[in-house]
A = this chain, B = another copy of it.
Amino acid sequence: MAQVRNKQVVLSNYVSGFPKESDMEIVDSTITLKLPEGSNGVLLKNLYLSCDPYMRTLMNEDSTLGLGRLTLGSPMMGYGVARVVESGNPDYKKGDLVWGITKWEEYSLVSAPQFFKIQHTDVPLSYYTGILGMPGMTAYTGFFEVGSAKKGENVFVSAASGAVGQLVGQFAKLNGCYVVGSAGSKEKVELLKEKFGYDEGFNYKEEPDLDAALKRYFPEGIDIYFENVGGKTLDAVLPNMKLHGRIPVCGMISQYNLTQHEGVANLANLIFKRVRMEGFVVSDFYHLYPKFLEFVLPHIREGKVVYVEDIAEGLENGPAALVGLFSGRNVGKQVLVVARD
C-alpha cells in the first residue's frame, strides 16, 4: 500500500504567555491512505482549517480550563472542513464533505467520527469554518439563546470584526437592535460600520478612557454585552450595564496569554443592576444547528448577511495565522487553506 506525504503542524513547546510561531513546527510525516481493517472510522482529506482563540488554551502544559491539552509532537487540533476519502462508518461515505474537529495535517484518520455533513455547497466551503460552522453557531446561540436578545435593545460587542463579532453585529441589526462594536484598528472599525452595519464602532486602542467611550455611545446603558475579550473592557462595561442586562461570555481573548490575569473590579454592579453574566460553550447548542441554517442561509444567499474572511494559504502558514489572532493581525475570520478540493 503506497504511503503519501502527510504534512503536519505539530506543537513543539508548551506555551506560557503569548504563543510564538516557533512553538509549532512543520513536519513531513507520511500516511497510508487506507483505513485499518475493521475500522469504524473515516479517513479525511483536510481542506480548510479554522484558527480560533480557544485553541490557545490547548497549548498550555497545565490548563485549568477543562478543554484538554495537546501532547508535544502531536498535530494541532481544531475545527475544519474536510472530504471523506474512505469510510468504515455507516454515517459517512466516500466523497462526503464534513465539518468538525480535525487535525492540522493534510490527511487525518479519525477513529470515532462526529462530524456535521455539509449539504449546501452553493456557498463557499470555507464558510463552514466560520459563518456556517462553530463561530456562526456561537454568535447565534450566544446572542439569541444565552443573551436572550429582544428587539430594539442596546448591544455592545467587543472583538467586533472577528469571526464571531462580525455576525453578532449583523444578527443584532436584523433583530432591530442598536449595536456598537469595538475593534483594534481603524481598518476594522471601518469594516464594522461599512460592511457589517454596526451603528457605531470605535478603536479601543485609541480610547484612553473606555468608560467615557461607552457613555458616549450608550448614554442610556447597555442591555447586552457580547463578551469576547475580558479584562479592562469588561471592567468598563459593568458600570454601564442597564437594569436586567445580560453578558453572554463567549471568550476572553485578552486574558488567555497572561500568566497573571487582569482583575475585574466592578462586579458589584451585577447586583443592583440585576445583570446575568453567563459563560457558554457552543457545543452545548449544536442541536440547534438545523434551525440556525434555516435562519442564516437565506440571508447569505440574499446578501443580507456577509462574512469577511482572512485567508492564509498552506499548512506552512498555519503557525503565523494562529499566532496572529492574539495580536489582532487578522481582519475577519482567520482561515487556513490546506487544499481546495
- Contact flags A216-251 to B (C-beta < 8 A → 1, else 0): 000000000000001000100001000100000111
Task: Give the number of times this chain occurs in the complex, counting copies.
Answer: 2
Chain B nearest CB: distance from A156 CB in Å? Answer: 17
Contact between chains at A66 and B273 (CB < 8 Å): yes
Contact between chains at A262 and B265 (CB < 8 Å): yes
Contact between chains at B261 and A266 (CB < 8 Å): yes
A263-B263, A273-B66 given; A268·B281 CB < 8 A? no
Chain B residues near A267: list those with CB within 8 A: 230, 234, 249, 252, 261, 264
Chain B residues near A276: list those with CB within 8 A: 276-279
* Interface band, chain A: 35 or more
Contact between chains at A268 and B65 (CB < 8 Å): yes
Chain B nearest CB: distance from A278 CB in Å? Answer: 4
Partner of A271, one of B64, B243, B264, B281: B281
Chain B residues near A275: list those with CB within 8 A: 278-279
Q: 8 additional contacts, CB 8 Å, given A64-B269, A252-B271?
A: A249-B271, A261-B265, A264-B264, A264-B265, A271-B279, A271-B280, A271-B281, A274-B284
The 4 closest A-B pairs by CB, nearest first: A263-B263, A270-B279, A261-B265, A271-B279
Spell out A's residues near B (CB within 8 Å).
57, 64-67, 230, 234, 239, 243, 249-252, 255-256, 260-281, 284
